[in-house]
Structure 1
Amino acid sequence: MAQTDDFGFGTQIRKSPYFDATVRWGATAFSVYNHMYIPRAFGDPEQNFWNLVNEAILCDVAAERQVEITGPDAAKFVQKLTPRDLSNMAVGQCKYILITNTEGGILNDPILLRLAENHFWISLADSDVLLWAQGVAVHSGMDIEIREPDVSPLQLQGPKSGEVMKALFGDKIMDLRYYWLREVELDGIPLIVSRTGWSSELGYELYLRDGACGDVLWEKIMAAGAPYGLKPGHTSSIRRIEGGMLSYHADADIHTNPYELGMDRLVSPDMEADFIGKIALRRIRDKGVKRKQVGLRLDCAPLKGPNTSFWPITKGRDTVGKVTSAVYSPRLEQNIALAMVSAEDAEIGTELNVETVFGPARAVVVEKPFFDPKKKIAIAA
């Protein structure tokens, strides 16, 4: 059995409240996300995928750090950070947002949670938005406080996740709607629970508000989930690519704008409220984009794992883009990929070539998401 000291990059990388528990339950490899360890392997990644889509998995995603914004001007300040119109966001609601800079480039694609009228959490992808927000606040003239609270989320995802939640919290938890949150306790452990997650499956996130309870919380959930086949797991590259979900730094970065990703619905450049990047995003919208994100089907032998470099995409002798995320889907029995290509090569059915590390492959532009495009699974009660 692995020991916690078997994994180490030094004390500059933080451990989550669940770190010891994940090692105890079989984590064999970790990555670094928001300066924190995050489990990336519990054995075979394909089995992890099947555990997720057939039963349920529990994932340590404490590396999804929270930026907490409070104070009389909290709502106005949060709106300044994102081009998504938040004017109708209710207390208790969650929203997927983009955070943009003055050029319209994406700095993060987090989940925003509204805990109270003037109390927000920004649940981060992998980038230092805490520092960005504090920098924006310096000369804003707004009455706010910005900090990183003692909050560490877990993801409970998969078709049996609702049964596990019912075992933990009773029948009342089953009326929690998709992208809404609730404040609860589990045997005195303070939590925020939301119907969200990075899997495109039915799922929940449990935000622990006391890091000292991490080990106890993990064990309580695993015990409650045992009758339903709950397994320890990690976020599934296979499932998130099937669902067309972004991985920041891979599928989007500071040089990517929302229109290139087809995320027009998350941008309201004509709303009255001001936000960072408003002028740039208006200009990009009116001018159009030179490249677009697409889905690809790669016709080659099953990939042995997700890509770890960007693969060039060519058409004839010209390089027209790059593969950002690729994987073999055992459910679809095909290689699938997210890619950024020139706008003129983004039409469905366009044939391209990809230089994979395993050799050249023929590619075809296809619809994305690749599976359950209407998110019926995730939204299901």
Structure 2
Amino acid sequence: MTVHQEPRVLLYPRIRKSPFFYASRRHGVQMYSVYNHTYHPRHYGDPVAEYWALLEGVTLWDVGVERQIEISGPDAFDFTNLLITRDLSKCAVGQCKYVFLTDQHGGIINDPILLRLEENRFWLSLADSDVLLWARGVASHAGMEVRIEEVDVGPVQVQGPKSFAVMRDLLGEEVADLRYYYLHDFTIDGIEVTVSRTGYTGEIGYEIYVHHASRDAERLWDLVLAAGEPHGLRVIGPCHIRRIEGGMLAHGADITVDTNPFEVGMGYDWMVDLEQEADFIGKEALRRIKAEGPARRLVGLELGGERLGSYNDGSMIDAFPVHHGGEVVGAVTSGCYSPRLEKNIALALVPAALSEIGTRFTVDVGERPGAQLPSGTEPVEAVVVPKPFIDPTKEQPKGDVAALGAGTPVASGGAGS
């Protein structure tokens, strides 16, 4: 039998479309995936060229798949605090936080960006899972006065070292005051938007949340393109090479409901506040896990062998089995070739006892666990290394955008996430 290496993805009415779907496809989408039940452009023909465009210039992404779940009403604060593992009292109005939502066993249901728009109004900008259903299920038993709905809001990302210049031309000098992980409302040619200084890149960048997206998304897209043209703006898909370099997590791959925050490591355990007075779903389970110590750890690996792909190019169909002592002990959850580091890098879940820096493994890079490797392919050597692989303290996205505008080197600063 013949395996078709690049089967088409069917475009039809059953799967949702981003409010930017028809705008972004004009730029030559070469590969889609389905994310939050919605078509998602993954790349436009050359993921490595897109990577360099992000690092050296400015890029525009259709991320309308990041559905916005709004939580409002008199009890919205207490209800949202029940869902997340961080202490919501430490999030001011106008601030954003990267958060985990966990189930009663401490498993990660989602890792959205939370935006606090008002005292009792929040958006959860979702990763890939059905949080609307989860939140409504929790609300049905919570006995709180709260409204939970998916709102008509669609985000795009403007990312890269020249992103500030584009946003300044689009919004005016006021955007220079927007700090890392904060938000502000603007109006662009009559279009209402919320802009946050956030992104999925580890680079300086912004997210533009278009209100009334079903009506205004395509017009906003064209306005961003026009503002970006003098700066060489390029439309790309989410750059997984850069997010793997930065140790950024992909829900459904690096983390799932079967992964808890203490397994993730890399400092994400501070996102679980067990000392706060308020209760949250999974608190007792996570207290036990912390006391006992996690059974697994998400580690960084450097891998030998031939160059891996870019992760979002269809080259990694399944997790790669990780071997130690003749047994499969874990899995590579995300892997790619880093053009900057000139080596293969990966995130992998392995037993905690084998997570120390310098631990050596072999990794199968075949199409699926247990499958015979393609002809001529051998398991490759791998070693545990520190992660993130690049910019571990996030100096780059926290940089001083005013210095960028002046053409001077970027210094670190801004608020934490």
TM-score bucket (shorter structure): over 0.9
Among 231, 251, 276, which residue is 1:248 paired with? 251
Q: Which amino acid is 2:254 matched to?
A: D
Distance 1:191 1:331 in 2: 35
Q: Which amino acid aligns with 2:334?
A: S
Correspondence for 1:233: 236
Q: Is the 8 A contact 1:154 1:206 kept in 2?
A: yes
Task: Name the counterpart of 2:354.
Answer: 345
The AA in structure 1 aligned to 2:142 is S
Segment of structure 1 superposing worse, 288-297 or 20-29: 20-29
CA drift at 1:264: 1.2
Contact 1:14 1:37 in 2 (8 A): yes
Q: Distance in 2 between matches of 1:113 and 1:14?
A: 24
Find the counterpart in structure 2 of residue 281 from structure 1. Answer: 286
Which residue number in structure 2 is paired with residue 361 of structure 1? 380
Q: Deviations over 1:276-309 (max 9, x none)?
A: 0011011101111111000000011111342221
Query: 1:232 & 1:359 partners in 2: Cα distance?
Result: 37
Aligned residue identity for 1:304: G
Query: What is the CA deviation profile of residues 99-130 of structure 1, one whole-angstrom value per residue up to 9, with x for unaligned ones?
Result: 00000000000000000001100000000000
1:323 pairs, out of 314, 324, 332, with: 332
Q: Which residue of 2 aligns with 1:260?
A: 263
The Cα offsets for residues 33-58 of structure 1, whole Å up to 9 and x where unpaired, read as 10111111111000000000100110
Q: Say whether the 8 Å CA contact 1:294–1:366 is kept in structure 2.
A: yes
The equivalent residue for 1:303 is 308
- Equivalent residue for 1:199? 201
Amino acid in structure 2 at the alignment position of 1:96 = Y
Alignment of 1:62-211 (within 5 A): 62-211=64-213
For residues 103-158 of structure 1, give each alpha carbon's deviation from its aligned partner in whole angstroms, at most 9, with x where no partner exists. Answer: 00000000000000011000000000000000000021111100000000001000
Give the C-alpha shift of residue 28 in structure 1. 1.9
Deviations 1:214-270 (A, max 9, x none): 111111101111111110111111000000000001000011000000121010123
d(CA) in 2 for partners of 1:88, 1:20: 39
Q: How far is 1:7 from its partner?
A: 6.4
User: Retained in 2: the 8 A contact 1:353–1:363?
Assistant: yes
Q: Secondary structure of 1:87's partner?
A: helix
Tell me the matched-pair count. 376
**C-alpha displacement of 1:271:** 1.6
Alpha-carbon separation, structure 2, partners of 1:347 and 1:300: 22
Tell me which stretches of 4 or more aligned residues in structure 1 moved more than 4 Å.
Answer: none
**What's the counterpart of residue 3 of structure 1?**
none
The 8 Å contact of residues 240 and 310 in structure 2, kept in 1 or not, is answered as no
8 Å Cα contact 2:299-2:349 kept in structure 1: yes
Cα shift at 1:9: 3.8
User: What is the CA deviation profile of residues 338-364 of structure 1, one whole-angstrom value per residue up to 9, with x for unaligned ones?
Assistant: 000011110011111111124310001
SS at match of 2:55: helix
Moved more, 284-293 or 354-363: 354-363
Query: Quick check: 1:351–1:363 contact (8 Å CA) kept in 2?
Result: yes
Distance in structure 2 (CA, Å) of the matches to 1:344 and 1:297:
18
Q: Does 1:372 align with 2:391?
A: yes
- Report 1:2-17 matches (<5 A): 8-17=10-19
How far apart are the structure 2 equivalents of 1:183 and 1:275? Answer: 30
TM-score with structure 1 length normalisation?
A: 0.97
The aligned counterpart of 2:412 is none
1:306-358, Cα deviation, whole Å (9 max, x unpaired): 22211111112122211000000111100000000011110011111111124
Is 1:292 the counterpart of 2:292? The answer is no
Q: Which runs of 5 or more residues in structure 1 are unaligned? A: 1-5
Query: TM-score scaled by structure 2?
Result: 0.89
Please give the secondary structure, in 2, of the residue aligned with 1:356.
coil
Contact 2:36 2:66 in 1 (8 A): yes
- Name the % identity: 52
Structure 2 residue ranges without an equivalent (≥5):
1-7, 367-376, 401-417
